[in-house]
Amino acid sequence: MSARDNILKRLRERTDGPLTAPPSNFAVVTGRGWSQQERLTRFERWITSVHGEVVHTPRDDWTIALAEVLEAKGIRRLALGREHPVAAEARAALAEGDIVLIDADRDIETWRHEQFHDTDAGLTSTRGAIAETGSLWLWPTSDEPRLLSLVPPIHIAVLDADTIEDTFFDVVESHGWANGMPTNALLISGPSKTADIEQTLAYGVHGPRELVVLLRHAEEYP
Amino acid sequence: MSASEVQTFTPREFHRQAHDALGNPQIRANFRKAMDGLMAKRRDVFSDWDLETLRELGANIRLRALAKLPDLLERLEANCQANGIQVHWAENGDEACRIIRGICERHGAKAVIKGKSMVSEEMHLNAHLEAAGIEALESDLGEYLVQLNEQTPSHIIMPAIHLNTDEISDIMHTRTGTERTRDVDTMTAAARAQLRERFMAADVGVSGVNFAVAETGTLCLVENEGNGRMTTAVPPVHIAVTGIEKVVEHLSDVPPLYALLTRSATGQHVTTYLNMISSPRKPGEHDGPNEVHLVLVDSGRSSIYQDDELLDTLRCIRCGACMNHCPVYTRVGGHTYGTTYPGPIGSILMPHMMGLEATKDLPTASSLCGACGEVCPVKIPIPDLLVRLRRESVGEGRGNVPGAGVKRSKKEVAVWKGFQWLATHPRGWRSSTAIAGKLQALMPSKLGPWTEYRTAPKPAKVSLHALVKRHQAGKFDEDGEERS
Amino acid sequence: MTPVKLYPAKPEKIYFYGTCLVDLFYPEAGLDGIRLLEREGIEVVYPQAQTCCGQPAYTSGHHDEARAVAAAQLDLFPGSWPIVVPSGSCGGMMRTHYPQLFAGTEHEERANEVAGRIYELTEFLLHVCQLRLEDRGQPEKVAMHTSCSARREMGLAETGPALLARMGQVELVEQARAAECCGFGGTFAVRHPEVSAAMVEDKTQAIEATGAKRFVTSDCGCLMNIAGRFEHQGKAVEGEHIASYLWRRTS
């Protein structure tokens, strides 16, 4: 018999007999009932508590905020997608400037060295965020591949305020994640960090040192 | 310990290793400081939660997964395969090592980069691969440092917690030529640079799994550093290795377990990354591995599964809170246990993996203070399981743990039989004027160690039985029944 | 931890289970506990056939012997009165582990019935007797060590401190890491003496650092351990069972 069959047989022919599954009550991880303002406040409080930066911007002028972030951080070479409206709008806005736009929508094998050594920042869209933990959720695509949010030293993520939901459980349930998971689904809560050297926090150990969230508001943000 | 000293640890030498650790002020200080910090952070991060309800949910999710374990494993396998993930099964660590080596060899792999995986530690994968001429490099910063220092992790979440900044600076200087510094950012940046080259050059990435979701065929990895994402996305082949108990039924089971895991482990409200992998690179996608393998390892787990009481051991989600809160672990550190998993969880898990003969001092290395059970996010009754393994050790259990009965000695049995006789013969108990002295002679071993650190207790001249008799003279008869 | 108990009204009568450590080493503590109860107008029955709850054998894995010893204790409480135990450790054994020990045996029902009547002394004084205390002692700082069994197994972290808070002249000081084990653990202190010693050393240092010259505890195992360590070092910090402390200062 194969290892598989042996293991399954032992589990099925359990000495103490079949087990009964207890019910699970998920009430404790849902039903927060927060207002939009509470969601925003919580999201911002949590993500900044782990070193994420939040830049509020009107929906329509967000590329101005992007340009300011690029300027402030001295970003010269920005990797980004092409198809997603976030990437398309960024490309249009930055076309005339002196920022080098690096195409992320190509096989990594063709530009790995460039991505690891010669890219200042990666720009991605997000699908939404979680107020309770200050987390962004990303489903990388061929347009915005998974390493775009990981390898460059700065990750700039664009988030729409009205896509922030209360809890992770709420996101999984309301968007039917279980009906079709992508190759890679990610929650990102702040920049890469470690406390492995005597409990001292240090950022950017493997992934980005900085995470900037461009938080887009449909209406004027107070 | 300096970078040049290589020390090996074994559970058989628990007492000697504990003696050494207790006498090492550096170890004592490192662990005390770290555990105090972790306990405080956990307390704070749960302060606005209905923690008991959340723990109850966590326990029930894990119990449900275990109740359906064989079905869920088959479902996990089917869904992974449908997604293009190749699934392998291994009866034990050796078989798992051979499977992993085989995959590496098929790809002509010379360099493996590893994300944190305690199961790979459990099976000594690195040594196995090195023996086959394949370099296995740890990429979690703590694991990397421990590997540079030719040690094993001393904590399942914070592998290098036994080392302080100066020691780490020494290690990095000696092993990698990094300039000596006390600046953690500088050291971290140096490690980043060193490891980035290795990620790019790696042929295979090996990772663990925190939760394997049967419903969707998804492998969830929880981490802060991003090395797990690198390991699973940069090399052309990704091999995930995990114990068969790590499966959960639904994707919706993940949020509560994730909430419990990060808060219990490091007192974080969330980790930087939750990395959920459901397939290799699909046509048209531009990065990620072309092959993803999942290796499911038994290594004694299906044996633990047989017994209703021992089963609870398999609920564990490997957060390490039990060690963070253990007064014994805090004093002696992780290496003293000489096992892959140290502390309370190790003491209830390792006897199944290594046998009670090798691990006989572990179930007794607890004052049964209950701190571990109190903080366990999935409510494993760790103290009860420690007592159960003590029963098995002395041959009064069900005999279904390897090495059961190894500690049974005629002398000790005689001691407890003597205790039983005295305690079931009240007149003998009462009439014995030097009863305390007799009990002292009946103790499992001499009181010597007690008096080395403490004054010996002085038996009272008059027992409570006698005092009460005098106090209540005439009110009651011998058996406490009121005289009419 | 056991679920929150619904406490009964103060009964006319109780059984007092002294425990073997009190019997052999701290009988005055047991008697002081009895006096506190009697002062509340409760008749105290002390079954003279009591010996030991069986815990040392139980935690050592010798459950056959523990069961035999425990079975003998089950016969001591024929009435329906509460059973009061001046120890969280023995109380926890009887309340929590007796039902486990006798599950599936002929004594199961009786073990569960007895377990349901077990009260730790400070728990009983506080929640059932609603004890009022008139402190006649000098102003004093005191530290308290609540045993791990009382704290975690019986869920009684607050009962001892709550009683001390009713003492007008007593200032309760909290030592660092108050919830941490003192290192006694029954046979643990004998099987792992060095680790146990490191734990009690830290505990005595934490208590000493509060500036209190006295500590109280509701468990004689911890008392023996911590006071034994202080005495061994020649430190002028004294330990006392909380029952003796309360009786001494209010009588």
**Is B387 within 8 Å of C61 when comparing Cβ atoms?**
yes
User: Do β-strands C170-173 and C118-120 pair in parallel, antiparallel, or remain unpaired?
Assistant: unpaired
Give Dmax (Cα) for chain C.
Answer: 53
Residue B447 pLDDT: 60
Domains of chain B: 11-302 (3.40.50.10420), 423-471 (no CATH)
Chain C positions in Cβ-Cβ contact with residue B458 (cut-off 8 Å):
25
In a domain, A105, yes or no: yes
- Phi first, then psi: give them for residue B464, nearest 5 degrees: -60, -40
pLDDT at C100 over 90: yes
pLDDT at C229 over 80: yes
How far is B253 from A172, CA to CA, in rounded Å? 10
Directed axis angle between helix B184-201 and helix B141-148, to 10°? 90
Structure tokens at B43: 């307390």
Q: Which helix (H) or strand (E) element contains residue B87?
A: strand B85-90
Partner residue opposite B391 with nearest CB, options C61, C183, C231: C61
Query: A211 is in which domain, residue-wise?
Result: 36-217
Residue with tokens 């209406």: A219
A217 pairs with which residues across the strands? A58
**Which amino acid, one-letter code, is at B217?**
G
Mean per-residue pLDDT for C8-25?
96
How far is B339 from A145, CA to CA, in rounded Å? 40
Residue C172 pLDDT: 98
Mean per-residue pLDDT for A23-45?
98
Lowest mean pLDDT of A72-81, B329-338, B433-442, C130-139, name the range.
B433-442
**Is C192 within 8 Å of B365 when comparing Cβ atoms?**
yes
Chain A positions in Cβ-Cβ contact with residue B237 (cut-off 8 Å):
none
Alpha-carbon torsion angle C89, C95, C96, C102, nearest 10: 120
Lowest mean pLDDT of A15-24, B38-47, B436-445, name the range.
B436-445
User: Is residue B476 very low, low, confident or very high in pLDDT (cuts 50, 70, 90)?
Assistant: very low
Percentage of the residues of chain B whose pLDDT score is greater than 90:
88
C-alpha dist (Å) from residue A153 to A122, A209, B398: 8, 5, 57
pLDDT at A32 over 70: yes
Interface probe, candidates B74, B185, B272, chain A, greatest A C-beta count within 10 A? B272
Query: Helix, strand or coil for residue A204?
Result: coil
Q: Note the CATH number of domain C133-250.
A: 3.40.50.11810
Q: What is the pLDDT of residues A116-171, one digit of tens each?
A: 999 999 999 999 999 999 999 999 999 999 999 999 999 999 999 999 999 999 99
Chain B, window 313-372: residues with a beta carbon less than 8 angstroms from a chain A beta carbon = none
pLDDT at B1 over 50: no
DSSP codes, B22-47: HT-HHHHHHHHHHHHHHHHHHHHHTT
Q: Could you report the predicted ipTM of this complex, rounded to two decimals?
A: 0.98
pLDDT at B444 over 50: no
User: Is residue B443 very low, low, confident or very high in pLDDT (cuts 50, 70, 90)?
Assistant: very low
Residue A29 pLDDT: 98
Q: What is the pLDDT of residues C33-56, one digit of tens each?
A: 999 999 999 999 999 999 999 999
Mean per-residue pLDDT for B102-123?
97
- Report the mean per-residue pLDDT for chain C: 96
Domain ranges of chain C: 13-127, 133-250
pLDDT at B326 over 80: yes
Identify the residue with better confidence: B177 or A221: B177
Percentage of the residues of chain B whose pLDDT score is greater than 70:
93
A62 pairs with which residues across the strands? none
Angle at C177 between CA C173 and CA C182, to 5 degrees: 100
- Report the mean per-residue pLDDT for chain B: 93
Residue C134 pLDDT: 97
In terms of Cβ atoms closer than 10 Å to its own Cβ (0-12, 13-18, 19+), residue A96 is exposed
Do residues C139 and C104 lie in contact, with contact meaning Cβ atoms separated by under 8 Å? no
Q: Which of A125, A84, A133 is nearest to A216 (CA)?
A: A125
Residue with tokens 């006698």: B466
Residue B217 pLDDT: 98
Residue B483 pLDDT: 45
**Is B33 within 8 Å of A186 when comparing Cβ atoms?**
no
Q: What is the separation, in whole angstroms, between the first and last Cα of chain A?
A: 68
How far is B191 from B178, CA to CA, in rounded Å? 9
Interface probe, candidates C43, C58, C73, C194, chain B, greatest B C-beta count within 10 A? C194
Nearest CA in chain C to B413: C62
Mean per-residue pLDDT for C124-144?
97
Structure tokens at A42: 């919580």
How far is A177 from A171, CA to CA, in rounded Å? 8
User: Is residue C66 very low, low, confident or very high in pLDDT (cuts 50, 70, 90)?
Assistant: very high
Q: Which helix (H) or strand (E) element contains residue C121?
A: helix C121-123
| List of residues 6+ apart from C75 with CB closer than 8 A | C49
CATH of the domain at A65: 3.40.50.10420
Chain B positions in Cβ-Cβ contact with residue A167 (cut-off 8 Å):
255
In a domain, A74, yes or no: yes
Structure tokens at B97: 């090592």
Pairs of residues, one from chain A and one from chain B, whose beta carbons lie less than 8 Å apart: 255
- Chains touching chain C through at least 3 C-beta pairs below 8 angstroms are B
Query: Helix, strand or coil for residue C193?
Result: helix
Do residues A115 and A146 lie in contact, with contact meaning Cβ atoms separated by under 8 Å? no
pLDDT at B440 over 80: no
Do residues B182 and B165 lie in contact, with contact meaning Cβ atoms separated by under 8 Å? yes
Residue B5 pLDDT: 54
Q: Which of B463, B409, B469, B455 is nearest to B439 (CA)?
A: B463
Residue with tokens 């020990």: C101
- For residue C115, give how far its alpha carbon lies from the nearest alpha carbon of chain B (Å): 17
Touching status, chains B and A (3+ beta-carbon pairs under 8 Å) = yes
Q: What is the separation, in whole angstroms, between the first and last Cα of chain C?
A: 34
In a domain, A60, yes or no: yes
Q: Running DSSP on this structure, what letter comes out for residue B219? A: E
C-alpha dist (Å) from residue B95 to B89, B305, C15: 9, 20, 60
| List of residues 6+ apart from B382 with CB closer than 8 A | B322, B344, B345, B348, B372, B373, B376
What helix, strand, coil percent values describe chain C, rounded to 5? 50, 10, 40
User: Is residue C1 very low, low, confident or very high in pLDDT (cuts 50, 70, 90)?
Assistant: very low
Structure tokens at A130: 């979680």
CA C125 to centroid of chain Cα atoms: 12
- For residue B260, give how far its alpha carbon lies from the nearest alpha carbon of chain A (Å): 11
pLDDT at B291 over 50: yes
Residue B2 pLDDT: 43
- Chains touching chain A through at least 3 C-beta pairs below 8 angstroms are B
Query: Helix, strand or coil for residue C13?
Result: strand
pLDDT at B317 over 80: yes
Sign, CA dihedral A87-A89-A90-A94, equals positive
**Is B464 within 8 Å of C23 when comparing Cβ atoms?**
yes
Angle at A103 between CA A97 and CA A106, to 5 degrees: 170
pLDDT at C221 over 60: yes
User: Is residue B429 very low, low, confident or very high in pLDDT (cuts 50, 70, 90)?
Assistant: confident
Q: Which of B240, B479, A138 is nearest to C73 (CA)?
A: B479
Q: Which of B27, B29, B223, B249 is nearest to B140 (CA)?
A: B223
pLDDT at C76 over 60: yes
In a domain, A190, yes or no: yes
How far is B420 from C58, CA to CA, in rounded Å? 11
Q: What is the pLDDT of residues B213-222, one digit of tens each?
A: 999 999 999 9
Q: Which of A53, A137, A177 is nearest to B213 (CA)?
A: A177
Q: What is the pLDDT of residues B192-239, one digit of tens each?
A: 999 999 999 999 999 999 999 999 999 999 999 999 999 999 999 999
Alpha-carbon torsion angle C55, C56, C61, C66, nearest 10: -50
User: Do β-strands A121-125 and C13-16 pair in parallel, antiparallel, or remain unpaired?
Assistant: unpaired
Mean per-residue pLDDT for B151-155?
94
Q: What is the pLDDT of residues B54-97, one digit of tens each?
A: 999 999 999 999 999 999 999 999 999 999 999 999 999 999 99
DSSP codes, C38-87: HHTT-EEE--TT----SHHHHHTT-HHHHHHHHHHHHTT--SS--EEES-
| List of residues 6+ apart from B37 with CB closer than 8 A | A199
**Is B227 within 8 Å of A205 when comparing Cβ atoms?**
yes
User: Do β-strands A154-160 and A210-217 pair in parallel, antiparallel, or remain unpaired?
Assistant: parallel
Partner residue opposite B450 with nearest CB, options C16, C54, C190: C190
Q: Running DSSP on this structure, what letter comes out for residue B439? A: H
How far is C74 from C83, CA to CA, in rounded Å? 11
Partner residue opposite C23 with nearest CB, options B420, B455, B465: B465
Directed axis angle between helix B343-354 and helix B382-393, to 10°? 40
| List of residues 6+ apart from C35 with CB closer than 8 A | C247, C251
Percentage of the residues of chain A whose pLDDT score is greater than 90:
98
Pairs of residues, one from chain B and one from chain C, whose beta carbons lie less than 8 Å apart: 227
Residue B475 pLDDT: 56
- In this structure, which long-range contacts are made by residues B420-427, counting pairs with CB atoms below 8 Å and at least 24 apart in sequence? B420/C57, B420/C65, B420/C68, B420/C69, B422/C51, B423/C20, B423/C51, B423/C52, B423/C54, B423/C69, B423/C72, B424/C51, B424/C68, B424/C69, B424/C71, B424/C72, B426/C48, B426/C49, B426/C50, B426/C51, B426/C72
Sign, CA dihedral C91-C96-C102-C107, equals positive
Residue B456 pLDDT: 84
Residue with tokens 């008697």: C31
Partner residue opposite C148 with nearest CB, options B369, B463, B468: B369
Structure tokens at A220: 């004027």
**Is C60 within 8 Å of B367 when comparing Cβ atoms?**
no
Residue B474 pLDDT: 59
